Structures are given as C-alpha cells and as structure tokens.
Structure 1
Amino acid sequence: MRIDVISLFPEFVAQCAAFGVVGRAGERGLLSLHGWNPRDYAEGNYRRVDDRPFGGGPGMVMLIDPLRASLKAAREADPRPARVVYLSPQGAPLTQAKVRELAGQERLVLLCGRYEGVDERLLAADVDEEISIGDYVLSGGELAAAVIVDAVARLQEGALNDADSAEQDSFEPVDPAGDPARVLLDCPHYTRPVSHELGDVPAVLMSGNHAEIARWRRQQALGRTWQRRPDLLDEASLSNADRALLAAYRASLGTVDDDSDG
C-alpha cells in the first residue's frame, strides 16, 4: 500500500511511522510512505502557503495553488488511482470499519490542514472524503494522518506477526456461529508472573480448557462493553448464550437484572 501525505511538516508523520508495527510494515515492503510539502510548490521569495480569510476573522487559510500542485505531484508519482482524504474536525468519525475500508485501498493521499483550514474550493474539487479522529481541534492534521497511517498499516497482510491479533482487537466485528456481526471491546489480558502483589491471573486462563477460556473471554468482552461503551452493545440482538454470559457478569458485580414491571 502507498500513502502520500501532503503537509507543511511531512517529516512529522514519517517519524511516527518509523517504529513498531508500522515501521516493520515499511521494512517488509507492505507500506510505502511519501511526504509532499506545499511550500515546495509555492511561488515568491517567501514561499507563501496561506492568506487571510475573505470576510475577515482571525487566522489564515491555506492557499489553493500550492496544495493543488502538491496533489498533482503526488498523483503523478504513481499511476494507480488514489483516494484523497482531508483530515478535518468536520469530517466523518474514524471507525474501525472505515479503517478496514481505507486499508483495502491501493493508494491513499492524506491532506493535512493548518491554521484555520483549507480553501473550500480545493476541498470541493479534489478531496474524496473528510475524516475526523475525534470531537476536538488539533493545531494541524499531521497527528490525525499519523493515526490513519498506523491504523491501516497494521491491517496490511503480513504486518502483524500473528494475523489473528488484529481480528481480536476492540471494535473489530465479532461473528459467533449463527449470530449477526457485532462490535465489542476486547477482553482483559494477562502474562507472567501468575501471582503478583497486584493480584493473580484468573485460573481459567491457565486451565488448558480452550472452550472455557473462549467462554470467559467472550463474557469479559460483553461485560466490558456493557460497562464502558454501552452505546456499542445492542442487547436486543444478543444471542441467548450471550445474554446468559452478560447476566452472569452483572451478577458477579452485584448487579441484578430485573425484568419485572413492578
């Protein structure tokens, strides 16, 4: 997969992508990351890339021409079609489903704004979609671009040493036999030592009984989602087995289900 980043600080995203799983994806030839600085395509002695907004107001707006020249250079660097994404707090929220969609693209171009943003005419003409990583404002799109690079790189085949690892992550669809796919948070994880002053590893995880371990992990995922992200849990769609697991989890916390009218 090839990702081109258009930014006044392309080296920032490149540095973020140099480590861990993403760095390994690059070393294995699964990810190719390229940066383009609009200032390199700006005219005049000062290489200006911004100007004051029409209508007045604070801040500056990024100019069309340097950005468009950067986009043109990025597109021409590889003949394959590229999906252009603008990182913006006004964009659609980034979800794991969207990450999987982006990871399936051969090419992405990530456009990072600065200041008050980018001239709307460029967005209307050259951007395929806008994506937000949260309901807050950053000083630029570089951090958001780095998040997308990380999220899609780890889903490239061969990036993870264990492919099953990605499928068991939080927010990944879970599709038990006969049940519709749902999204749950991940279960808790433990490693050595077995006993510690902070507590012991749950005995079921050392039992060797794979069916019981899978049942415990499923129950923990259901319970954690119910506790921490109830908006993700559609209890009406749960199977009878999942409902029983969740009821037992609640009971273990002293929470009793009450379906009575009275």
Structure 2
Amino acid sequence: MKFTVLTLFPEIFELYLNQTIIQRAVDMGIVTYEIVNIREFSGNKHGQVDDTPFGGGAGMVLKPEPYWNYFKIKNAENPKKPFVIFVTPQGIPANQNIISDIAEKEDVVLISGRYEGLDQRVIDNFVDMEVSIGDFVLSSGDLPVLCLMDSVIRIKDGVIKKESFETDSFYNGLLGFPQYTKPAVIEGVEVPEVLTSGHHKKIDEYRLLESLKKTCKNRPDLLEKKIKEDENFRAVWEKYKKEIEL
C-alpha cells in the first residue's frame, strides 16, 4: 500500500512517520509513503499556492493549479487513478469502518488542507472522499492526515498482532475495556481481583461488562447504534443491562 501526502509543510511528517510502528510497516514492505511539497507544482515563479476567495470574505483559499498540475503528471506516469482523500472539517466523520475500507486500497493520496479551504474544482474533479476527524477546526490538515495514516497502517496485516487491535475501541462498535499492569497494588489501590484469578472466562465476562459500562457512560450513541444494528448483540445487552447503572 502506498500513501502520498500533498502538503505545504512536509517537514511536519518526517519525525512522526519515523516512529516505531509506522517505520516497522515500511521496513517490512507493507506500506510506502511519499510526502509531496505541493508548492513545487504551483506553476509560478513565486511558488504561490493561495489567493483571495471569489465573492469576498476573510482568509485565503488554496489555488487549483498546484493540484491540477500534480494529478496531470501522476496520471501521465500511471493511468490507474489513486484513491484521493481530502481531509477537511466538512468531510464525513472518520470511523473504524472507513479506516478499514481505506486499508484495502493500494494507492491513496491524502490532501492536507490549509487556510479557508481548497478550490472546489479540485474536489469535484479529483477527490473521491472528504473525511473529517471530528467536529472541530485545526490550522491545517497535517495532523488529521497523520491520524488517518496511523490508524490505517496499524491494522494492515503483519504490522501489529491482530488480537492487539481487535480489542481496540470501536473495532467491535464499543469502547475498549479498562487496562491494568504491574504492580498489582499501588499505595493500597489494587487491580480488580478477577484479572489476577487466571480464570479466562470470568476475565472475558468482566472485560465485556466494563466495556459496556464505559460505552454507556461516554458514548451512548455507539451503544444505541450497536443495539439497533446487531441482532446478536441485543441478546448480550439484555443479559448485562441490569448490571449497568443507566
């Protein structure tokens, strides 16, 4: 799988992308990435990539020419179109299903936005999906792009153990259960006894119950969605709901 990032600030990416899990995926040949300074495709001697918006208004808008030039060159090199994602607060909310879908792609281009946004003609002509990482606004799309890359790469086969991400929050539609490690007691505060019992069935049941409690408390919307859409889960919920403080 290849990622290509179109950004104005390529230096932001190098430090993070060299960290353990992502670098491991690169070293194993599972993923590759290229960070492109889109300013190099501006087509003007000053490297200008932004201009004032038609119709007036505050701020600046990313010009279409750099992206037009980039995709024309890429298409000439390889007619097979990559899957292009524009990371923007106006996109559809990212979730684990979307991350899993992206992980199935072979060639993904991520456009990192800046200023007041990207000329709509670029989105209409080249972008396959607009994605948001949450209902808030950042100064640029660079951090959200890194979030998407990290979340996709970690679930690629061979990067980490499958059982590691299968217990992640959202993987099964619920939040994850609380985790504990050594020591078993710190200043009189103990780890729940069941986790040191060695009784795996009871441990699994405890973790499920705690996952349900946390989801009910912090993300009731996820719980409602799971109950509505998952027939098998409804039976599980009926079994445990009386033990959860609603």
Structure 2 length-normalised TM = 0.91
After superposition, give the CA deviation of every residue in 1:195-238 in whole Å (9 maximum; x if it has no partner): 11261111111111111111111111111111111111135654
> Partners in 2 of 1:208 and 1:233 — Cα distance?
29
**Aligned with 1:242 (options 233, 237, 243):** 237
Partner of 1:259: none
After superposition, give the CA deviation of every residue in 1:61-90 in whole Å (9 maximum; x if it has no partner): 111111122233445566654100001111
> Partners in 1 of 2:154 and 2:145 — Cα distance?
14
1:4-23 → structure 2 map (5 Å cutoff): 4-23=4-23
Partner of 2:128: 128
> Partners in 2 of 1:247 and 1:96 — Cα distance?
28
> Partners in 1 of 2:67 and 2:141 — Cα distance?
14
For the structure 1 residues 76 and 167, does the alpha-carbon distance in structure 2 shift closer, same or farther, using more than 3 Å as the test? Answer: farther
For the structure 1 residues 69 and 222, does the alpha-carbon distance in structure 2 shift closer, same or farther, using more than 3 Å as the test? Answer: same
After superposition, give the CA deviation of every residue in 1:102-133 in whole Å (9 maximum; x if it has no partner): 01111110011111111111110111110011
Partner of 2:53: 53
> Partners in 1 of 2:68 and 2:188 — Cα distance?
56
> Partners in 2 of 1:55 and 1:197 — Cα distance?
64
For the structure 1 residues 75 and 145, does the alpha-carbon distance in structure 2 shift closer, same or farther, using more than 3 Å as the test? Answer: farther
Matched, 1:184 2:184: no
Query: Would you say the 8 A contact 1:4–1:74 is kept in 2?
Result: no
Query: Would you say the 8 A contact 2:43–2:65 is kept in 1?
Result: no
Question: Counterpart of 1:193 in structure 2: which amino acid?
Answer: P
For the structure 1 residues 2 and 77, does the alpha-carbon distance in structure 2 shift closer, same or farther, using more than 3 Å as the test? Answer: farther
Partner of 2:86: 86
Deviates more, 1:43-52 or 1:123-132: 43-52
> Partners in 1 of 2:236 and 2:46 — Cα distance?
66
Instruction: Give the secondary-structure state (helix, strand or coil) at the position aligned to 1:34.
Output: strand
Question: Counterpart of 1:23 in structure 2: which amino acid?
Answer: Q
The structural deviation recorded for 1:159 is 0.7
Partner of 2:36: 36
Instruction: Give the secondary-structure state (helix, strand or coil) at the position aligned to 1:131.
Output: strand
Point out where structure 1 has 5 or more consecutive residues left out of the alignment: 174-182, 256-262
Partner of 1:197: 187
Matched, 1:227 2:217: yes
User: After TM superposition, where is structure 1 displaced by more than 6 Å over at least 4 residues in a row?
Assistant: none
Point out where structure 2 has 5 or more consecutive residues left out of the alignment: none
The structural deviation recorded for 1:166 is 0.8
> Partners in 2 of 1:20 and 1:4 — Cα distance?
20
The structural deviation recorded for 1:241 is 4.2
The structural deviation recorded for 1:242 is 3.3
- The alignment covers a number of residue pairs equal to 241
> Partners in 1 of 2:78 and 2:185 — Cα distance?
54
The structural deviation recorded for 1:35 is 1.2
> Partners in 1 of 2:124 and 2:42 — Cα distance?
21
Matched, 1:212 2:202: yes
Partner of 1:107: 107
Query: Would you say the 8 A contact 1:219–1:242 is kept in 2?
Result: no
For the structure 1 residues 64 and 198, does the alpha-carbon distance in structure 2 shift closer, same or farther, using more than 3 Å as the test? Answer: farther
Could you tell me the percent identity over the aligned residues? 36
For the structure 1 residues 80 and 24, does the alpha-carbon distance in structure 2 shift closer, same or farther, using more than 3 Å as the test? Answer: farther
Query: Would you say the 8 A contact 1:38–1:69 is kept in 2?
Result: no
RMSD: 1.8
Query: Would you say the 8 A contact 1:195–1:201 is kept in 2?
Result: yes
Instruction: Give the secondary-structure state (helix, strand or coil) at the position aligned to 1:5.
Output: strand
Say which one has the larger Rg: 1
Matched, 1:142 2:137: no
For the structure 1 residues 198 and 134, does the alpha-carbon distance in structure 2 shift closer, same or farther, using more than 3 Å as the test? Answer: farther
Query: Would you say the 8 A contact 1:6–1:71 is kept in 2?
Result: no
Structure 1 length-normalised TM = 0.86
